[in-house]
Amino acid sequence: MSETDKQLQEISDEALKAFNSSENSKALYDEKVKFLGKSGRLTEMMKLMAKLSPEEKKSFGQKVNEVKIRLESAYSNAEENLKRKEIEASMLAEEVDMTLPSVKPPTGGPHPVFQVMDEIVTILSRLGYSLRTGPLIEKDYYNFEALNIPPNHPARDMQDTFFVDQTHVLRTHTSPIQIHSLESEQLPLRIIGTGGVFRVDSDVSHLPHFHQIEGMCVDRKVSMADLKGTIAFFVGEFFGKGLKTRFRPSFFPFTEPSAEVDCQCPICKGNGCSLCKQSGWIEIGGCGLVNPKVFEHAKIKYPEWQGFAFGFGLERMAIIKYGIDDIRLLPENDVRFLRQMSI
Amino acid sequence: MKLSLQWINEFVEVDDYFTQPEVLAEKLTRAGLEVEEIINRRKDYDHVVIGLILEKDKHPNADKLSLCRVTTGEGVVHQIVCGAQNHKSGDRVVVALPGAVLPGNFQIKQSSIRGVESSGMLCSLKELALAEESQGIEILPTDAPVGTAFADYKGLNDIIFELKVTPNRADCLSHFGLAREISCLLGREIKTHEPKFEISAQSTKKEFALEVKSTDLCPRYTGRFISNVAIKPSPDWLKRRLESLGLKSINNVVDATNYVMMEYGQPMHAFDADQIQGRKIIVDVAQPDEKMISLDGSTLNLKTKHLTIRDSSRVVCLAGVVGGQNSGVSENTKNIFLEAAFFLPQVVRQASRDLGVETDSAYRFSRGVDPDSTMRASLRATELITQLAGGVAYGDPYDVYPSPVAKKVVTVKAQNVTERLGYTIDEKLLVDYMKRLGASVKETKAATPEASGEYEVEMPLFRFDLESEIDLVEEYARLAGYDLIPESLPVFAKSPTAHDKNYILNRKTARIFMGEGFYQAFNFAFVGAQEEAQFLGLKTKMNGIGLSLGEDPVRLLNPLNEQINVMRSCLSYGLFQNVLTNFRKGNHFGRLFEIGMSFQKGEEGAFKENLRLGLAAWGQVQNLWTQTQKHPLIFEVKSSVEQWLKQQNISAFSWVTPQDRSLIPNFCHLGQFAELVVEGQKVGYLSTLHPSLRDENKIRESVVLAEINLDVLYKGQPRPNRFGSLSQYPSVERDFAFVMKKSVRVDEVMKAMKKIAGALLVKTEVFDLYEGEKLMLGQKSVAFRLTFQDQNATLQDKTISDLQQKLVEGLENQLGLSLR
């Protein structure tokens, strides 16, 4: 190996060592200048070329160039390494305690009663039902008479009523919405009526202002089996698939036949627990075929048109679904309660 | 209502259900007669038997105690320590053996008393809950059968059903009625009872006159005269029966009438015949302004629509509701006139409701009694009275029934029953069920085979609720069992219609405010008139901000209490109450929104319901460690409202503080209040709560309230959202700080900027606000960051500097602003 080759080798080795041991970009750059700068050691070596023969020039030039390329690539590698390390170091300098409390204000959430309302509307919408509302201060006619509850009928005792004047009451159920729809809409129809209702009743299990939701289907041929199938679908969607539904005979003036609806307790799946009082069943609402007398009031011909209707109390549904143990929490609006209910 | 199984057993055989009453209860419940509770009286006396004292010795370690050897059957002897003194060997006594749980949860166990084993207790009547007080243990007659269960011996083994009877099933409001239903359900025979008593030759009609004037309100009236009765307490069996159903025993005659009511469902009344003036009973409506003092001593102000029973000069009874004090049976009564009648349900209900008198009689008449039962009940009562009180039952009783109620005939077609129920019914069963219900059934002669299966069903009068085919469909379904109904989903051959518009819009509003950190609240729609009015202050102020109030709130005629006696006029008051409740519970931070109706009177006796959004916010976001800059809370709520407006595509809105501060509602902060004006219309307000309301209620945090009229705001919603193209060219930001009078509003400045700079000004932000020593009094400095951008080209420096100059000059001229 010639003297110059040796020198080249030395420069290359020293430069690589220097590049790889530089601790920061500045020191690295200084090293680069030392070897590759205008008066750097490799540049100095080039100056030796003038003394060489043309053949030697060619091979020497090639060798210097190889070293230069190697060193430049080594430099850029080292530079990249250092930059990465520096960024990493700066990130570590910005380290935070991830266990500190979060800073964004909490998002809010729905009231459980309205949450349940939305869920039920969503389920019934899939069967083609559309939502309707109606006035809360309702005419006696719509709240009672049109629903086959004439004045001085004992069925009026079933619903303790707030009176506003001789002809207006706070509606005691959402069923007046049925009448408004029957009077104004085209048949066949499938509607949901929902909203606040009022009864003169206030104790551990009753609120004087609470909410109901009901569905009504009017079509050419409608049977109890259709009603039961519809409610079974609803129960499966709302409380969970596989829960059975059963009907018990009951009485509502606006339906005939009438039934109370029980579903298998969603908590114990029918095995018996405190919610269902060990019976495995819980009562969730009432239903029946639309009483022909209701059609008569709405001037709809029966049996050319037939119908069924069903209704649930939203507070009761919320209590069952979320295991709320005191109905009076619902109108209290304690934010701790509402936060718990928001999922 | 309560019903005794023993009593029912007199009319239909239910012996086999005494050991399993829950099975019968389930059958009834599944047939629509819900048994809410089973009271098994027998359980109180389990392990309580009749014993014979074989020996009585002194207790070896206690003078006052005795040691008895008692047998409760052949070869069974118990050693029992007793504290009483009134017994001797050879006495028959009531023994509670270990395992018994006496009334009051008194458990009897094997025990040791003063070192001597005792296996049971000899009982007093008090310990058995059969007397209020008793002296010593109960010594039974010498014929009491040793070893017999005490409950059987005393007839205490009854089972009581608490039954929820729906208004349509008035026929089940008696023991005979329920027995009839059970006989139908179980297919067992109904046993009838033929009253037997001696009828004297004397005539009721000769002794006593009767005139039924209102035959329309009183279709049937029966009456019988009974002389020389002896009024005294009822025998034990009668007392026990009535008391077990929750009725008070009064005397033998009154108890007999109540007994018959519980037995046949027919309310009855016994008059003291000697108190009936003119010896004449008249059935007629009340005279104008007439009064009657009822049996319990209260004065009833009658109306002329109320039906009364009268004598020649006065009212003696409010028909079907309550008797008069002037003619009731008392201990001095000798002669009685016994009434059993059929009054129209609505007449009795009206009187009962009007006068607030609720009785077992009114309850039954309101729901309807069987017009066929009057005479049967009268006979049964006469039988009982003559048994219990002696007396002479006069013959020739009254039975005024000028136009007998006709039975209803209903046509039912088997095919229709099948279609209504959704499964193929058994036609034979249909006929069978109708017969079991007491109907007579006749098949209609069919012209063609297809038309067959039609029946004419004549319903018994006690089932007056069955009046059309659909009612019989229900009877079939009920008797066959609702479990037979299959499940099917009906097809819907029509496009579904749209949901109510407000429901959709409310859901969006709710979603946005939830995202902004608000929880949904629900408040009762009624409030206290006084409290709300005091909170709101002058009505005109609320009307001035787009939340109109009526002259008077909508009042309830029968509020639950005076704290909730009117329908609310606004949502703000309820939300303010929620803030107070939350503070009391230690929640110093919260955000609530409510969507609901406010109410006011409308034109011509109508009522108006106005949809509102209410907001309440209190406390700062709790992230203390970041030292968040404290800005007035109202700006946080304001940004939430603006976020909501923006998402409804509403950009033309402004927050306006009235020049005249006296227009600001009483509960609001004079310096932190704005009306929300949307597209030129006032729709509500946003305000910090008045500091004195805050302080009075010891609230240490800032509270912000807002209320918005959604009916106005939702008009034209939902608005379409059209895409506007995005500029491809760079934007340029320039910052300015302007000094201005404090009275100059930032949004005036921003509007002026927009007007001056035109379309090139795409965004204006405020990044600093300074009021302080470095400025003259009454001035403030506001720093703005303006963003300029051209839709179609890169902005040139010259264009921007020209705009800058135009802005500075324009703002100085228009609003007196100077660059800082």
Taking CA–CA distances from A112, the nearest residue in chain B reads: B520
Restricting to B residues 516-545, those with a Cβ less than 8 Å away from any Cβ of A are: 516-526
The CA distance from A299 to the nearest CA of chain B, in Å, is 18
Residues B732-819, CATH architecture: 2-Layer Sandwich (3.30)
**Contact residues on chain B for A133, CB-CB shorter than 8 A:** 500, 502-503
Alpha-carbon gap, residue A255 to B558, rounded angstroms: 29
Average pLDDT over every residue of B665-685: 94
Average pLDDT over every residue of B243-248: 88
Restricting to A residues 141-200, those with a Cβ less than 8 Å away from any Cβ of B are: 151-155, 157-158, 162-165, 167-168, 170, 185, 188-190, 196, 198, 200
- Under a CB-based contact definition with an 8 Å cutoff, are residues B442 and B455 in contact? yes
Give the residue from B270, B279, B260 showing the smallest Cα distance to B224.
B270
Q: Touching check for B508 and chain A: CB below 8 Å?
A: no
By residue count, chain A amounts to 343
With 80 as the cut, is the pLDDT of residue B630 above it?
A: no
Q: Touching check for A22 and chain B: CB below 8 Å?
A: no
- In the three-class reduction of DSSP (H, G, I as helix; E, B as strand; rest coil), residue B522 is classed as coil
Average pLDDT over every residue of B73-80: 86
CATH 3.40.50.720 fits B199-400, yes or no: no
Determine the topology of domain B501-713 in CATH: BirA Bifunctional Protein; domain 2 (3.30.930)
- In the three-class reduction of DSSP (H, G, I as helix; E, B as strand; rest coil), residue B680 is classed as coil
B628 confidence band (pLDDT: 50, 70, 90): low
**Residue B559: cis peptide before it, omega within 30 degrees of 0:** no
- Count CA within 13 A, CB hemisphere, residue B616: 29
Query: Considering CB atoms only, which of A106, A133, A246 is closest to B517?
Result: A106
Alpha-carbon gap, residue B383 to B265, rounded angstroms: 17
The CA distance from B351 to the nearest CA of chain A, in Å, is 10
**Residue A110: cis peptide before it, omega within 30 degrees of 0:** no
Task: Map tokens 């709302």 to a residue.
Answer: A238
- Which has the higher per-residue pLDDT, B226 or B55? B226
Q: Which CATH number fits domain B424-484: 3.30.56, 3.30.70, 1.10.10, 3.20.14?
A: 3.30.56
- Under a CB-based contact definition with an 8 Å cutoff, are residues B811 and B752 in contact? yes
Task: Map tokens 């690539």 to a residue.
Answer: A73
Query: Considering CB atoms only, which of B170, B366, B482 is closest to A248?
Result: B482
Domain map (residue ranges) of chain B: 2-33+165-186, 43-154, 199-400, 424-484, 501-713, 732-819
Query: Considering CB atoms only, which of A130, A137, A336 is closest to B496?
Result: A130
The CA distance from B551 to the nearest CA of chain A, in Å, is 16
Longest dimension (CA), chain A: 130
Query: Are B166 and A109 an interchain contact pair (Cβ–Cβ within 8 Å)?
Result: no
What ipTM does this complex have? Answer: 0.86
The CA distance from A176 to the nearest CA of chain B, in Å, is 16
**Contact residues on chain B for A154, CB-CB shorter than 8 A:** 167, 170, 345, 349, 366-368
Average pLDDT over every residue of B740-758: 93
B627 confidence band (pLDDT: 50, 70, 90): low
The pLDDT assigned to B447 comes to 74
The CA distance from A34 to the nearest CA of chain B, in Å, is 44
Token couple for B702? 């800032």
Whole-number Cα distances in Å, A4 to A10, A14, A63, B764: 10, 15, 10, 70
Taking CA–CA distances from B496, the nearest residue in chain A reads: A128
The pLDDT assigned to B624 comes to 64
Query: Are B623 and A103 an interchain contact pair (Cβ–Cβ within 8 Å)?
Result: yes
pLDDT over 70 percentage in chain B: 99
The pLDDT assigned to B806 comes to 94
The pLDDT assigned to B783 comes to 95
Restricting to A residues 55-74, those with a Cβ less than 8 Å away from any Cβ of B are: none
Cα B274 to chain centroid, rounded: 45
Helices (H), B328-413: 345-355, 360-367, 373-389
Token couple for B88? 């001797």
A1 confidence band (pLDDT: 50, 70, 90): low
Taking CA–CA distances from B30, the nearest residue in chain A reads: A248
Determine the topology of domain A112-341 in CATH: BirA Bifunctional Protein; domain 2 (3.30.930)
Token couple for B739? 């000094």
Alpha-carbon gap, residue B149 to B105, rounded angstroms: 19
- Under a CB-based contact definition with an 8 Å cutoff, are residues A292 and B467 in contact? no
pLDDT in tens, B83-112: 888 888 889 999 999 988 887 788 899 888
With 80 as the cut, is the pLDDT of residue A295 above it?
A: yes
The pLDDT assigned to B345 comes to 94
Give the residue from B404, B391, B479 showing the smallest Cα distance to B436.
B479
DSSP state of B481: -
The CA distance from B29 to the nearest CA of chain A, in Å, is 7
Taking CA–CA distances from B514, the nearest residue in chain A reads: A108
**Contact residues on chain A for B711, CB-CB shorter than 8 A:** none
Token couple for B689? 């709560």
Taking CA–CA distances from A192, the nearest residue in chain B reads: B499
- Strands B322-323, B220-227: pairing kind: unpaired
**Residue B691: cis peptide before it, omega within 30 degrees of 0:** no
pLDDT, averaged across chain A: 92
Phi, psi of A298 (to 5 degrees): -90, 10
Restricting to B residues 437-476, those with a Cβ less than 8 Å away from any Cβ of A are: 468, 470-471, 473-474
Residue A118: how many other CB atoms lie within 10 Å: 15
Query: Are B556 and A108 an interchain contact pair (Cβ–Cβ within 8 Å)?
Result: no
pLDDT in tens, A71-102: 999 999 999 999 998 888 888 888 888 888 77
> Phi-psi category of A299—alpha, beta or left, where left has phi over 0 and alpha has psi -120 to 50?
left
- Under a CB-based contact definition with an 8 Å cutoff, are residues B521 and A127 in contact? no
Q: Which site among A137, A186, A191 would you substitute to test the B interface, given the most B Cβ atoms closer than 10 Å to its Cβ? A: A137
- Under a CB-based contact definition with an 8 Å cutoff, are residues B672 and B688 in contact? yes
pLDDT in tens, B306-322: 999 999 999 999 999 99
Average pLDDT over every residue of B244-271: 95
Which amino acid is present at A87? I
- Under a CB-based contact definition with an 8 Å cutoff, are residues B153 and B78 in contact? no
Query: Are B524 and A113 an interchain contact pair (Cβ–Cβ within 8 Å)?
Result: no
Average pLDDT over every residue of B700-709: 95
- Which has the higher per-residue pLDDT, A180 or A159? A180
- In the three-class reduction of DSSP (H, G, I as helix; E, B as strand; rest coil), residue B302 is classed as coil
pLDDT, averaged across chain B: 92
Q: Which residues pair with B212 in a beta bridge?
A: B283
Q: Touching check for A272 and chain B: CB below 8 Å?
A: no
Taking CA–CA distances from B618, the nearest residue in chain A reads: A335
- E strands within B291-361? 291-293, 299-301, 307-310, 315-318, 322-323, 336-342
Q: Touching check for A225 and chain B: CB below 8 Å?
A: yes
Average pLDDT over every residue of B204-222: 95
Q: Which residues pair with B555 in a beta bridge?
A: B566
The pLDDT assigned to A73 comes to 93
Give the residue from A151, A208, A219 showing the smallest Cα distance to A186.
A219
Q: Which residues pair with B92 in a beta bridge?
A: B52, B140
Give the residue from B704, B706, B648 showing the smallest Cα distance to B679.
B648
**Contact residues on chain B for A132, CB-CB shorter than 8 A:** 500
| All residues at 6 or more sequence positions from B695 whose CB lies less than 8 Å from its CB, including other chains | none
| All residues at 6 or more sequence positions from A152 whose CB lies less than 8 Å from its CB, including other chains | B345, B346, B349, B350, B353, B366
Average pLDDT over every residue of A298-311: 96
Q: Touching check for B701 and chain A: CB below 8 Å?
A: no
The pLDDT assigned to B623 comes to 62
**Contact residues on chain B for A245, CB-CB shorter than 8 A:** 487
B626 confidence band (pLDDT: 50, 70, 90): low
Alpha-carbon gap, residue B576 to B114, rounded angstroms: 68
Alpha-carbon gap, residue A283 to B164, rounded angstroms: 15
Taking CA–CA distances from A190, the nearest residue in chain B reads: B496
**Contact residues on chain A for B565, CB-CB shorter than 8 A:** none
CB pairs under 8 A between A and B: 258
Query: Are B599 and A190 an interchain contact pair (Cβ–Cβ within 8 Å)?
Result: no
Taking CA–CA distances from A115, the nearest residue in chain B reads: B520
Query: Are A106 and B499 an interchain contact pair (Cβ–Cβ within 8 Å)?
Result: no
Q: Touching check for A251 and chain B: CB below 8 Å?
A: yes
Rg for chain B (alpha carbons), in Å?
A: 42
**Concatenated DSSP letters for A237-251?**
HHH-TT--EEEEEEE
Taking CA–CA distances from B26, the nearest residue in chain A reads: A248
Classify burial at A113, counting beta carbons within 10 Å of its beta carbon; exposed 0-12, middle 13-18, buried 19 or more.
buried
Token couple for B257? 């009438």
Q: What is the CATH number of domain B43-154?
A: 2.40.50.140
**Concatenated DSSP letters for A73-116?**
HHHHHHHHHHHHHHHHHHHHHT---TTSPP-SPPP-B--HHHHH
- Under a CB-based contact definition with an 8 Å cutoff, are residues B218 and B344 in contact? yes
The CA distance from B474 to the nearest CA of chain A, in Å, is 5
Q: Touching check for A309 and chain B: CB below 8 Å?
A: no
Alpha-carbon gap, residue B608 to B613, rounded angstroms: 16
